[in-house]
Chains A and B, each alone.
Chain A
């Protein structure tokens, strides 16, 4: 049962990823991204990462994809992309580099030296109850409290930066044709 679920989800995730890369319409790309996000969220669930799976669905599959769609519709860039490639050499180079990257990552996976680290923080499920939300929360608010607090600063900076970048500046923008 787990194997069937795994292969169905793996096919879905890879098909979604290919759809993001090959789709001509940015809206379709965002929807394919949603498919991949959802499949990965179920992968998380299958590996006892309950809280992370829900966060994946709420933050990635909802907030981030909706933000993408919102910007696409706001800018009105949902027409199809130009097909002519100004640098045709780059496309072949990218595919070759991608193949090299895949081989490298697979070699790393195939070697045990990359996977020999031992537990430093604690087991997945400390008290043996079903689910590990409590264990994750305890690690987050004890061992990683400093990093957790810093994420708050990071998010505030990101929000302020986003507002500053996206707002219209007070001065008049030069009209078409009189750009420096």
Chain B
């Protein structure tokens, strides 16, 4: 029964929307900055899935090119973000977001 189902782009978009929402809720709920970063990666991945789905649905290579650039931005963001986390950890011996809310050294 399931095997005969036709997978339309909408299915992929719904999965991407669910991934994006889970990532967003995780970003708001978690306190560990490393896990918050992982949730941002989840949201970026959901957006990438949407881009690829529309590239296929509209038969346009532009969507996949944008995914390439998103991956570059994600890589740069992780490199700088983890460096910031390491710097904060050196200073405060903790990576909990609440402890650095005052933006004081």
Contact = CB atoms under 8 A, between A and B. Distances in A.
Interface of A: 1-4, 6-7, 10, 13-14, 17-18, 20-21, 23, 26, 29-30, 33, 36-37, 40, 43-44, 47-49, 51-52, 55-56, 59-60, 63-64, 67-68, 71-72, 74-75, 77, 81-82, 86, 90-91, 93-95, 97-98, 101-102, 105-106, 109, 115, 117-124, 126, 132, 135-136, 139-140, 143-144, 147, 151, 154-155, 157-159, 161-163, 165-166, 168, 173, 179-180
Contact of A151 (B3, B26, B62, B72): B72
B100 interface: no
A77 B103 CA distance: 21
Contacts of B49: 40, 43-44
Interface string B1-41: 01111110011111101111111111011111011011101
28 contacts: A2-B7, A3-B3, A21-B26, A21-B30, A26-B35, A29-B34, A47-B55, A49-B56, A52-B64, A56-B71, A60-B74, A75-B85, A77-B32, A82-B96, A90-B28, A91-B29, A95-B25, A109-B17, A119-B59, A119-B60, A121-B61, A122-B62, A139-B61, A154-B72, A155-B76, A162-B80, A165-B80, A168-B90
B101 to A, nearest CB: 10
Contacts of B5: 3
A26 B34 contact: yes
